[in-house]
Amino acid sequence: MPSRPHLKNQSSTFYNIARLTTMSFYYNANMNESKKLPILINKNDIQVTTDCFCTQLTYRIKPGDVSNNSCQYEIHCKCTGSKVVNVTCGPDTYKCHDGCLQKISKKLGKIAEHNDEITIESRFDPVIVKKAFTYIFNLDKFQIDQLSIKEKYEMVLFGAHYDFPVYCIQNLIDRSVYADLVQYAWTGYGDNYLMNMLPKMRIPNIDFLEDFKKVDEKIMLKFVRKYLEHKINEKKFNRNMTIGFIAFVCVLLFSFIAWCCYNSRKNSYPHHAYYANY
């Protein structure tokens, strides 16, 4: 199925709905009567042919109404934007809508506002870039557990450089790459993205003495200080939130009691006044 070459100011997540209906054909068995036979289309066999990399990974096929022996499918595309931008890395070129680039990367989105051609820095491996784009455009289906330690590490560096969403990058980080990322971020590179994110992460079963053996001692001290500061601030924040919530509940409770007392007195006042006048 051909796709639209580009979008024109589409803000809806479902800008393109194509319908595939099973077809029927006729044959004459006895040259006198014809019979109608259905052609069944398996949902898994439906493919959308498009040169847009983002569309290839974001479209969804959903079943429609079933009636009169015909099955109808709807193809939903979540792409947005007003033009197609060519993102080049080495020998590979990825055609992506500018709106889709803005969703996955603040840096690429800003470049796409004024350019139709984007070239990824040569220090990034084209294989890693392709995996990173495939992951970011298809979070639900991408299997992170099949990545090697080196692939996860390099994908994090690529995503951090181009300002991918933090939660997407955090999903790639585990104990195997945590210490190496700390070493990279604090070793003269000044990667603010990682320096702000890493101390806030809580890696299960982390062992600083064991995992940080290869990390420079000065860097480790700086990082651990930031790590503990965030932990203390987090506890203070949680404590303040708890105190604030308790205070809020107390105010509501006292307000309710005062309201009940006021209504009780208001309802009983005419009764006493009547007997006083009597």
- State the amino acid at position 209 in one-letter form: L
For the ranges 101-115, 163-177, 200-214, the lowest mean pLDDT is seen at 200-214
In a domain, 40, yes or no: yes
Residue 25 included in any domain: yes
Does the predicted TM-score (pTM) go above 0.75?
no
| Distance of alpha carbon 77 from alpha carbon 55, whole angstroms | 7
* Residue 112 forms part of a structural domain: no
Whether residue 50 lies inside any domain: the answer is yes
| Amino acid 51: pLDDT | 76
C-alpha–C-alpha distance, residues 111 and 124, integer Å:
18
- Give residue 171's pLDDT: 94
Q: Does residue 22 belong to any structural domain of this protein?
A: yes
Contact 37, 106 (CB under 8 A): no
**Residue 57 — pLDDT band, cuts 50, 70, 90?**
confident
- Count structural domains, the chain: 1
* pLDDT at position 224: 82
Domain that holds residue 62: 17-76
29 falls within a domain: yes
In a domain, 233, yes or no: no
Locus of tokens 């068995």: 29
Tokens of residue 104, six digits: 């996955």
Q: pLDDT averaged over the chain?
A: 76
Per-residue tokens: 258 = 């005062």
Helices (H) and strands (E) in the chain, counts: 10, 8
Contact 206, 175 (CB under 8 A): yes
Side chain identity at residue 188, one-letter code: G
275 or 248, higher pLDDT: 248
The per-residue pLDDT for range 7-42, each reduced to its tens digit, is 444 434 333 434 433 333 333 334 344 445 455 566
Give the span between the Cα atoms of 55 and 76, in whole angstroms.
10
Q: Could you tell me if residue 91 is inside a domain?
A: no
